[in-house]
Structure 1
């Protein structure tokens, strides 16, 4: 069995590529990134094909343009990469394309009798759009909604694909809510790079340090974390935010009187520094309103940091609630406060969860489990396809 992968960037696709390569199943991975950006992905040169002519300039200068221009550029970039993959698609048994950029190449693969898998890293796109619109209205942000062309394209992909893969139970349920046949939506929870994320230091006794790692967006549920932090009672609490600051977002949070004066902005952190910060934090909070998985959950666990996550993430798949982490209902700041207060008041329970989180990650085996499950799924799809072809030939 040979598998071709397609992604506009890196994402989890290169973790999947390495797993398939280890099993002798990777034909090639197409990426919209330039080759120099992929030099540390630990794959042979001939296994990577790049088509960076729209994605790379977009990454370099998109911030200088209006939202309308960025939207159009992103749309055209996805269409161009999909067309390129369709033109250059090598012999394979399975094409796995990240959602939003695989319809044309998927149809090409199917025309050859191959399997097309739509890899969706978030909730069903219509559910994602609804949640984002609701949050923007609640907090007073302007939001045009996801490009209708993108929604239509993704829904065509969902219908066309032989199978859809998602990383979390939350994502899987969102497809069921939209009427997609659940037999076609397969759960493949992400792994974690344990060579990069491992314990590196300890949290300071007597303090209660909370880490958030991600973008400052409504999608990530940051206002609920800010509300919970303000309500949390602890004499030595600290909130660290790792990620590129968004001044407009901060200004809006200050206007709503949600922004704490003592929040510590760390900016974007390289992975080794992020692992060190996770190791020295008591908890990591992922309060997302919509998050396909949230790889920071398993990364934090690998560093011995207790994850506290909303129900709209991969929490149900990353850890056991109440044992190696805590889950709270998405959009409920009071519930998040209660979870944080419990951990702040119970240092022995916090330590027990830190130990359990480390043990849970060891059972995951890095990305090995993800690779095993993905390979098994693709193999079963190919086998079933061959069986149908034999039946038709009789």
Structure 2
């Protein structure tokens, strides 16, 4: 259905995007690509530069795409990237869909500010220019696509009309993720896949794991660690935790399959796709509602849904799984059936097509 795909990523980064005709992909990497490499260049430590660079990238890319639009159609743009292009499309008689993958930007900014303070850090905050632009996009767009009830509720809480919101949950790569084995007996392995950060609520997960009484427990942590978490961990001894850093996506199914439970305790995001990956591999989930988990699992069936910042609730879930070995096997089977029923990315595409067909 797509006429063109505009991206700020350099073309070599798109080599794994199978199934998309290369002639449809138009890259504008001149700002985004250097921004992605700023750490290698030693420039990521300058917060002011990061903000200016990020803002310049979004604005320049948006205006570039706007200049390329000449015919009526439907523009789908990631939030903070589509205001100018969206207006241009609407001026030609077309429609503009703003796609937002996380909670409402004001909600996001507020809860992260609150969380950083809880741990004694200063939250720099989202660039006010980005916040202003996104709010204009929410107002300008014909529809806002969001991935979960959690995100929808954050928008409604901030005054956006429900009639403008269209929930289209993300899918999982069912062709890539499948169960290939069982966890080791006499060991309790907890798995974390995602950013190791305050936003993801990592410290609540770690504290619950450390309080869990098991003679052979293991916490495998996959993902990049932020400076705040490094600072906190530098003041304490951590045992039975294996920090793997980044792991190739193709290797994740082994970790999912051989872990007793997958843990994700985020304070905010949209719909963490790693949850669907874990389910496809038969790994039960412990997650907060703020991960979008309620759109994937029912509490007590494919896993557990726990309140944010609730270490006790996480610990209780660990205990239930340990005390009842059959529960894990039961949840594993239900999780596989559920994620297959949800349909993966094909269902996402079908639902998005239904929205676009309204404009036909």
TM category (shorter chain) comes to over 0.9
Residue number in structure 2 paired with 1:6: none
Q: TM-score, normalised by structure 1?
A: 0.88
2:69 aligned with 1:89, yes or no?
A: yes
2:24 aligned with 1:47, yes or no?
A: yes
Q: For residue 72 of structure 1, report the CA deviation from its aligned partner.
A: 0.8
Gaps of 5+ in 2: none
- Please say if residues 301 and 361 of structure 1, whose CA atoms lie closer than 8 Å, have aligned partners that are also in contact: yes
Aligned residue pairs: how many?
A: 356
CA deviation digits over 1:122-145, x for unaligned, max 9?
000000000000000001122111
2:325 aligned with 1:325, yes or no?
A: no
**Alignment of structure 1 residues 220-299 onto 2, 5 Å:** 220-246=200-226, 248-255=228-235, 257=236, 260-299=238-277
Q: 1:92 to 1:204 in 2, by over 3 A?
A: farther
Q: For residue 336 of structure 1, report the CA deviation from its aligned partner.
A: 1.4
Residue number in structure 1 paired with 2:280: 302
More displaced 10-residue stretch of structure 1: 296-305 or 191-200: 191-200
CA deviation digits over 1:207-257, x for unaligned, max 9?
1100111112111000110111111122211101001234552231343x4
Q: For residue 90 of structure 1, report the CA deviation from its aligned partner.
A: 5.2
Q: For residue 59 of structure 1, report the CA deviation from its aligned partner.
A: 0.7
**Alignment of structure 1 residues 363-378 onto 2, 5 Å:** 363-378=341-356
**Alignment of structure 1 residues 1-394 onto 2, 5 Å:** 25-42=1-18, 43-62=20-39, 64-65=42-43, 66-89=46-69, 91-246=71-226, 248-255=228-235, 257=236, 260-380=238-358, 382-383=359-360
More displaced 10-residue stretch of structure 1: 265-274 or 167-176: 265-274
Moved over 3 A (4+): 245-248
Question: Partners in 1 of 2:117 and 2:252 — Cα distance?
Answer: 32
Question: Partners in 1 of 2:70 and 2:280 — Cα distance?
Answer: 37
Q: 1:181 to 1:62 in 2, by over 3 A?
A: same
Question: Partners in 2 of 1:171 and 1:136 — Cα distance?
Answer: 21
CA RMSD of aligned residues (A): 1.3
| 3-state SS, counterpart of residue 260 of structure 1 | coil
- Please say if residues 170 and 344 of structure 2, whose CA atoms lie closer than 8 Å, have aligned partners that are also in contact: no
Q: 1:318 to 1:90 in 2, by over 3 A?
A: farther
Question: Partners in 2 of 1:233 and 1:219 — Cα distance?
Answer: 26
Question: Partners in 2 of 1:248 and 1:166 — Cα distance?
Answer: 29
Question: Partners in 2 of 1:133 and 1:73 — Cα distance?
Answer: 22
Q: For residue 62 of structure 1, report the CA deviation from its aligned partner.
A: 4.2
Q: For residue 328 of structure 1, report the CA deviation from its aligned partner.
A: 0.3
Gaps of 5+ in 1: 1-24, 384-394
Question: Partners in 2 of 1:248 and 1:322 — Cα distance?
Answer: 33
Question: Partners in 1 of 2:29 and 2:187 — Cα distance?
Answer: 46
More displaced 10-residue stretch of structure 1: 101-110 or 202-211: 202-211
Q: For residue 279 of structure 1, report the CA deviation from its aligned partner.
A: 1.0
| 3-state SS, counterpart of residue 241 of structure 1 | strand
Question: Partners in 1 of 2:286 and 2:201 — Cα distance?
Answer: 13
